[in-house]
Amino acid sequence: MRKALFLYLLAAFMMVSCVPDEDTVIDDPDPVPENPTPEPKPEPEPSPAPLPAFETAYEAVQNMGVGWNLGNTLDAVWWTGGTDGRDWKAWETGWGQPVTKPELMTMMRDAGFGAIRVPATWGVHMDADGKVYDEWMNRVNEVVDYVINAGMYCILNVHHDTGADEGAWLVAGPDAYSREKERFEGLWTQIAERFKDYDQRLLFEGYNEMLDESRSWCYASMNLGYDATAAAEAYQAINDYAQSFVDAVRATGGNNAVRNLVVNTYGSCNGVGDWSPYLPDPLKYMKKPVDSVEEHILFQVHSYPMIDNLASMESEVSYMLDLLEAHLEPLGGPVIVGEWGTFSENPPLENYCHYADYFVRNAKERGIGTFHWMSISDGIHRSIPVFSHPEIAESIVKAWHGAGFTPEIPVLGDYDLSYKVTYNSLWSELNLSSSTLYLDEYKGVTFELEETPPAGSLHIKVYGESDGKEQFGDFEGASGTLLFDPSIIGSKSQRVTLQYTREDPFTITVRRVALIRTDDTEEECSPSTFWGCTLELIVS
């Protein structure tokens, strides 16, 4: 009984001693407030914007079809160092080409071409801080739009900022790369920003035919008798420029994050030839730039074989295609021949047509794209527009599309044309022919004017095979003919002009110009400006 009472009293005491005072705070590990507020959840990090669905570089080469270069136009340079870089028209026409019109691109599309390479030179159109003049950027933009609006692909590049001329500021060497890296990347940032919203039909090409400090063609340091150290530095610089180009474009985002980009080998060299063991080096030492996306880099070379001997031409073309497959394609990108033509001087037309067919067909079979260099529509032909070498143009497009393809090939004969010539100074000259004419094929030239010029104000001048070999001819009335004299000019004519002999400005209209072949047939041709005169085409 006493034990039970004791236990009861002890329990009561412990209960009383455990009751807290009013000032006592009890730690509650999970206090529940009267009006609980849930803790805010962290905001999820935004998902990166999905990249545009661009075709791969391999798909682009197939979808572009066969291409052509708008050469000697936006790339013109050297001839006029003092001309304001803002004056786009003076530069665009500086090498004898007319102002480009959208109708030219429509003509190319209707003929069967699917892509146009637009060479553009930039250095002379930039201020001291490296900013491209608005006038030049706007004009380049207009020409690109001509191509895109015609439904074709366009490759826009940096052209005569490279090359053998002393004015070229992009040079394949470590010192030049360090010096120009910021300016080069800044240029591409400006171009990329301007065109960042364009779709997959626009491709960028980082640089054209970039050479080393010794301006060596064929392979680096050739002009030095080959220097292994200098050559290695040049090839490294090419790869450095290529990486800078890719990085600058990708950094602008938008469609540029996946745009297909073109990089060239050293000098755009193709490795062909057996006269030096170093010829394949531009291919061997080319690297694919590190890229943030896969399969959006293309490689480019150029090709200008001699075509006087067709068997040799075929062998050279096949060998080149083998080299491209062996050295460039394993890098992980397709190949285009961004320029092709020939260094042969006035080859027979049938040779050129055979060459065009063979080259384009064999390149296509190997998945290699081709862009002919300009001559199929040249000079005043572009302003009509028509083809200056329609047979070659037809051979090119049929080689790609098939023999059954029927292209639209407009020619001069489809129009009634005349040429308004304004002579601006004494001895200024109009080209009646600017091609080399061998006297075993051609015997003279003839022309017709719309009105009779003042007596003695004009005469015909023939430039012979070398300096000092010149033939002159007078004429009366509104027409003139001159037969070449081999005892005076030698075996060929380099140029035939209609030269002005007075000082005051004078205008006259040329109705027709034709070359006289040795079989007495006539071959119509178009006059062009040589110097000191302007030419306006009249289509009726």
The average confidence (pLDDT) of the chain is: 91
In this structure, is residue 482 part of a structural domain? yes
At residue 96, the pLDDT reads: 81
In this structure, is residue 99 part of a structural domain? yes
Choose the final residue of a domain: 413, 437, 470.
413
Choose the final residue of a domain: 413, 435, 470.
413
Residues 458 and 341 reside in one and the same domain:
no
At residue 413, the pLDDT reads: 85
At residue 42, the pLDDT reads: 61
In this structure, is residue 21 part of a structural domain? no
Residues 535 and 478 reside in one and the same domain:
yes
Domain count, the chain: 2
In this structure, is residue 302 part of a structural domain? yes
228-257 pLDDT tens trace: 999 999 999 999 999 999 999 999 999 999
Residues 101 and 203 reside in one and the same domain:
yes
Cβ count near 516 (within 10 Å): 19
Hunting for tokens 């030096």 — which residue is that?
A: 276
At residue 78, the pLDDT reads: 73
Residues 402 and 501 reside in one and the same domain:
no
Choose the final residue of a domain: 413, 436, 452.
413
Residues 426 and 404 reside in one and the same domain:
no
Residues 260 and 356 reside in one and the same domain:
yes
Burial of residue 58, with CB atoms counted within 10 A of its CB: 0-12 exposed, 13-18 middle, 19 or more buried: middle
At residue 53, the pLDDT reads: 82
At residue 342, the pLDDT reads: 97
Helix (H), strand (E) at residue 64: helix 57-64
Its pTM stands at 0.84
Round to whole Å and give the CA distance between 65 and 114.
5
Round to whole Å and give the CA distance between 85 and 82.
9
What integer is the mean pLDDT of 88-100? 90
In this structure, is residue 383 part of a structural domain? yes
Residues 298 and 431 reside in one and the same domain:
no
In this structure, is residue 447 part of a structural domain? yes
Q: Which of 376, 297, 369 is nearest to 115 (CA)?
A: 369
Partners of 459 in beta bridges: 499
Is the per-residue pLDDT at 199 higher than 90? yes
388-423 pLDDT tens trace: 999 999 999 999 999 999 999 999 889 999 999 999
- Domain holding 511, by residue range, is 417-539
Residues 422 and 408 reside in one and the same domain:
no
Residues 213 and 320 reside in one and the same domain:
yes
Hunting for tokens 């990486």 — which residue is that?
A: 243
CA angle 240–243–245, rounded 5-degree value: 110
Burial of residue 207, with CB atoms counted within 10 A of its CB: 0-12 exposed, 13-18 middle, 19 or more buried: buried
Contact in structure between 493 and 482 (CB atoms under 8 Å): no
Query: Which CATH number do you get for residue 143?
Result: 3.20.20.80
Residues 430 and 386 reside in one and the same domain:
no
Least confident of 235-249, 274-288, 516-530: 516-530
65-79 pLDDT tens trace: 999 999 999 999 875
At residue 304, the pLDDT reads: 98
132-160 pLDDT tens trace: 999 999 999 999 999 999 999 999 999 99
Residues 370 and 516 reside in one and the same domain:
no
Is the per-residue pLDDT at 2 higher than 50? no
Q: Which of 531, 539, 540, 492 is nearest to 515 (CA)?
A: 492
Residues 387 and 437 reside in one and the same domain:
no
Percentage with pLDDT > 70 across the chain:
90
In this structure, is residue 46 part of a structural domain? no
Hunting for tokens 């302007």 — which residue is that?
A: 534
What integer is the mean pLDDT of 316-336? 98
Strands 506-517 and 417-423, how do they pair? antiparallel
Query: Which CATH number do you get for residue 478?
Result: 2.60.120
In this structure, is residue 34 part of a structural domain? no
361-383 pLDDT tens trace: 999 999 999 999 999 999 889 99
Residue 232 or residue 95, greater confidence: 232
Q: Is 89 helix (H, G, I), strand (E, B) or coil?
A: helix
